[in-house]
Amino acid sequence: MSRRKFIKKASLGAFASIIGSEIIFGSNMPIGYKPLALQEIDPFEMFDKNPEMTVLNSKPWNIEAKAHLLDHRVTPNKNMFIRNNGRIPEKININNWTLTIDGESVKKSKTYTLPQLKSKFKHYTYQLTLECGGNGRSEYNPPAKGNQWTIGAVSCANWTGVRLKDVLDDAGIKEDAVYIGYHAMDSHLSGDPKKEPISRGAPMYKALQEETLLAFAMNGEDIPLAHGFPVRLVAGGWPASVSGKWINRISIRNKEHDGTKMTGTAYRVPCKPVAPGEKVKDEDMCIIESMPVKSLLTYPKTGAMISEGKKLNIRGHAWAGELKVSKMEYSIDFGSTWKVCELEQPVNRLAWQHFNASIFFPKKGYYEVWAKATDSRGVAQPMLVPGWNPKGYLNNACHRIAIKVI
């Protein structure tokens, strides 16, 4: 038997056992053909995402937006990036779903059903910016392992839910509380039920902020499964890894939470700058809290063309973690000179801010438009990639688009 034939025979058997029945006429299938029943599912259809988005990984699913897909003032569900550390929970029965507040620093452990959570506490809606700590990772050199996010792991949706603060107050917090840690229903890629894919948290002051929500709706609908149905934590302005999806337990800790991806190098950067490629000891790594100032040009698309003498209208969003953006500028001469953009106030704290400008180009040719935001403390985005770090977090370099004047 030839090797090709053997592979075909072997896979026929394997296909049949996965499908659960014999494939009649299977021996007629062209070599390399995968029966429809086994063909890869279409992630855009499965997650109801814009097909223009980029799939970075399928095990687990990680999908990012392109700049022009983030043009809306409020990110539509279809264009919101997906970042998973493990397997999305498969069967969620909301009738059985409960949230437990426990931990060393809770006065008395308490469990809430979804109707209890929704009826007992006041509802709030905020626009909250969620950016993955690894957004921009692909630009670091030496490269960092992990999903090679470019610019699209950021969103600003309308989140509706109850304040975590109100729920924690109801359960009762002891005086020695320092941190919260979430636990969720997704499963570890290894399949080991004892392992959690991720269990992060935040210090009490962030947990108790008015805008920190236990959300049950995203843009006015039930939270889509991939984004944390039925309830997720939303802590705007911090690495989005703090915003636990599919949560069912929050522990009030009397020490820094030590769950999966809280320790070691995960979501940490060197406390002091290091040289590119340098080894950093775990004890010299600090937890990322507020995200740095950043902006994105969402219109036009890079590569746009405009006729000579016409003005080009540009627009986008800017955000600055816990802070506000106080100035937005653009450059068409590779950062030699800057002009001010019109910048709107945020709708609420921790929402991104919209900017626009009208640009005149002196003559025909190739240009780049660079955008630079400055936060309320006077810190501006770096023009190129900032301080290297082992995991490739916090790249807030100026976004740029190419423009041709014809």
| Minimum separation from the CB atom of position 153 to Mo ion (A) | 7
Closer to Mo ion at the Cβ: 161 or 392? 392
Residues 58 and 237: their CA atoms lie apart, in Å, by 27
Closer to Mo ion at the Cβ: 85 or 219? 85
| Minimum separation from the CB atom of position 167 to ligand MTE (A) | 18
Q: Does 401 bind ligand MTE (CB under 6 A)?
A: no
Minimal CB distance residue for Mo ion? 132
Footprint on residues 158-187 left by ligand MTE (CB under 6 A): 184, 186
Residues 99 and 201: their CA atoms lie apart, in Å, by 15
Residues 6+ apart with CB under 8 A from 112: 98, 99, 100, 101, 120, 167
Reduced to 3 states (helix: H, G, I; strand: E, B; else coil), residue 167 is helix
Q: Which of ligand MTE, Mo ion, none sits in contact with 245, Cβ below 5 to 8 A by type? A: ligand MTE
Q: Does 80 bind ligand MTE (CB under 6 A)?
A: yes
Closer to ligand MTE at the Cβ: 157 or 371? 157
What secondary structure does DSSP assign to 270-328, as a single string? ESS---TT----GGGEEE--SPPPEEEEEES-TTEEE-TT--EEEEEEEEBTTB-EEEE
For the beta carbon of residue 5, count every other beta carbon within 10 angstroms: 10
Q: Binding-site residue total for Mo ion (CB under 5 A)?
A: 4
Q: Binding-site residue total for ligand MTE (CB under 6 A)?
A: 20
**Partners of 312 in the β-ladder:** 359
Interface stretch with Mo ion, choices 3-11, 105-113, 125-133, 185-193 (CB under 5 A)? 125-133
Q: Does 79 bind ligand MTE (CB under 6 A)?
A: no
Reduced to 3 states (helix: H, G, I; strand: E, B; else coil), residue 247 is strand
- Under a CB-based contact definition with an 8 Å cutoff, are residues 204 and 179 in contact? yes
- Tell me which of 8, 66, 78, 83 binds ligand MTE, using CB under 6 A: 83
Q: Which of ligand MTE, Mo ion, none sits in contact with 295, Cβ below 5 to 8 A by type? A: none
What is the contact mask toward Mo ion in residues 206 to 245, using x (rule: CB under 5 A)?
----------------------------------xx----
**Quick one: tokens of 51?**
């097909």
- Under a CB-based contact definition with an 8 Å cutoff, are residues 352 and 297 in contact? no
Residues 69 and 58: their CA atoms lie apart, in Å, by 21
Q: Does 132 bind Mo ion (CB under 5 A)?
A: yes
Binding site for ligand MTE (CB under 6 A): 80-86, 132, 155, 184, 186, 197-198, 227, 240-241, 243-246
Binding site for Mo ion (CB under 5 A): 83, 132, 240-241
